[in-house]
Amino acid sequence: MNLAEHLKKKSTEEKITELIMLFSEQASVIRDEFVTSRGAADTKNVYGETQMALDKKADEILIDALKKSGLVRWIATEEQPDIIEVEGAKNQFGITIDPLDGSSLIDVNLAVGTIVGIYPGHVLEPGNTMPGALYILYGPLTTLTYTTGNGVHEFYLDKDGVFKLMEEDLTIPDGKLYAPGALRRDYMPYHKKFIEQLESEGYKLRFSGSFVADVHQILHKGGLFTYPAFKGKETGKLRHLFEGTPMGKMVFEAGGAVSNGKGNLLDVKPASVDERTPIYIGGKKEIALIESYVKR
C-alpha cells in the first residue's frame, strides 16, 4: 500500500492529505540535493548555528512548494527569523518545519531528517492542538513517518519515488536505550541522578547528533532521548516548535510521552517562534521517572 492509499484508508481529511502528500513529494527533491549542495553556506541561522548549503536549500524547497500550493497560511521554519504569511492561502493551517535536522552530520554522511508540525491556525499554540505531524528520515532508506492522531505509520521511498507502507500503528516498546544530550559536567543535580539511575539499570548509550534519527530509534526500540536544561543554558538547546512538539506528538501517539521535565510538553504554549525547551522524549516509564526527580 502506498502513502496516498493509506491516507485514504484512514479517512484522512482531504486538506491534511494534500499537505502530507506535498511534503512526501519534496522528499526526493531534497534527497537529490545531497549530491549537489554540499558543504557550509557561510551564514548562520537565528540560533547562531552555521548553516549548511543543504539547510538553506531544503528550507527554500519546502517554502516554495508550500507557497505555490496555497495549502497553508502560516509557515515557520527553523532557518527563518520570522513567520511567513502566505497571501490568498486556501486553508488556515500553520506549519512548523525543521528543514534539515541533524545537518552537522551531512559531511560525515549520517542520517538527517525533515520535521514538520501541522497546526489548525497560527503556530504559537500548544502542540496538543496539532491535527498531525510527520518526519522524513534520510538514512540508507528515505522514510516518512506520520500521525494524524489515528496511529503512527511509517513508509519507505521505493525506487520509483513512491512511499510504500513499512509499518502501521507503531507503538513504542519497552527498551533500554538512552540518548543524552549536553555535557555531563553541566548537568543539573536532578538530571544527574536520573541519568545515573538509567545507567545503573543497564540503559545503553545511543546519541548520533541528529535529533530526528535518535528519536526515530527510540520510537522503534524504546528508552529515552533527552536534551535537558543545563548549566549555562537553563532553557535547554532544542527548539520547542521545530523539534519538541512535532516529534513529541509522534511519540505520544505511539504510546510514549514528551516532557520538559515538569510536565507534558504538548500542553505548553510557546511564547515565541524561537523558544527553546528542555526535552525528555520516549517511554512513559522514563518520562514519569524524570518528572519525579524534578519534583523531589
Q: Which is nearer to ligand F6P, 102 or 222 (by Cβ)? A: 102
Nearer to ligand F6P (CB atom), residue 181 or residue 278 = 181
Angstrom distance (rounded) from CA 149 to CA 254: 9
Query: Pick from Mn ion, ligand F6P, none: which does 280 bind, CB < 5 to 8 A by kind?
Result: none
3: CB partners within 8 A, 6+ apart = 20, 21, 24, 144, 155, 162, 163, 164, 165
- Binding segment for Mn ion (CB under 5 A), chosen from 46-54, 101-109, 249-257, 273-281, is 101-109
Half-sphere exposure of 55 (CA within 13 A, CB side): 24
**Grid cell locating 4:** 496516498
Task: Output the smallest distance, CB 211 to Mn ion, in A.
Answer: 6
Which of the residues 154 through 193 are near ligand F6P (CB under 6 A)?
181
- Calpha distance 274→226 (Å, rounded): 19
Residues in binding contact with ligand F6P, number by CB under 6 A: 8
> How far apart, in whole angstroms, are the C-alpha atoms of residue 82 and residue 272?
10
- The widest CA-to-CA distance across the chain, in whole angstroms, is 57
Integer Cα distance of 284 and 225 in angstroms: 12
The footprint of ligand F6P on residues 223-282 (CB under 6 A) is 227
Specify the residue, 3 or 215, whose C-beta has the smaller distance to Mn ion: 215
Residue 253 touches Mn ion, criterion: CB under 5 A: no
Q: Which residues contact 186 (CB under 8 A, 6 or more apart)?
A: 230, 231, 232
Nearer to ligand F6P, 163 or 242 (CB): 242
Q: Which of residues 190-219 bind ligand F6P (CB under 6 A)?
A: 209-211
131 near ligand F6P, judged by CB under 6 A: no
- The rounded distance, in Å, linking the Cα atoms of 276 and 232 is 13
Q: Residue 71, SS3?
A: coil
- From Mn ion, ligand F6P, none, interface partner of 209 (C-beta below 5 to 8 A by class): ligand F6P
x-or-dash pattern for ligand F6P, window 91-130, by CB under 6 A?
----------xx-x--------------------------
Q: Are 219 and 135 in contact (CB under 8 A)?
A: no
Among ligand F6P, Mn ion, none, the one that 252 touches (CB under a kind-dependent 5 to 8 A) is: none
Of all residues in the shown chain, the one whose CB is closest to Mn ion is 101
| Residues making contact with ligand F6P (CB under 6 A) | 101-102, 104, 181, 209-211, 227
| Residues making contact with Mn ion (CB under 5 A) | 98, 101
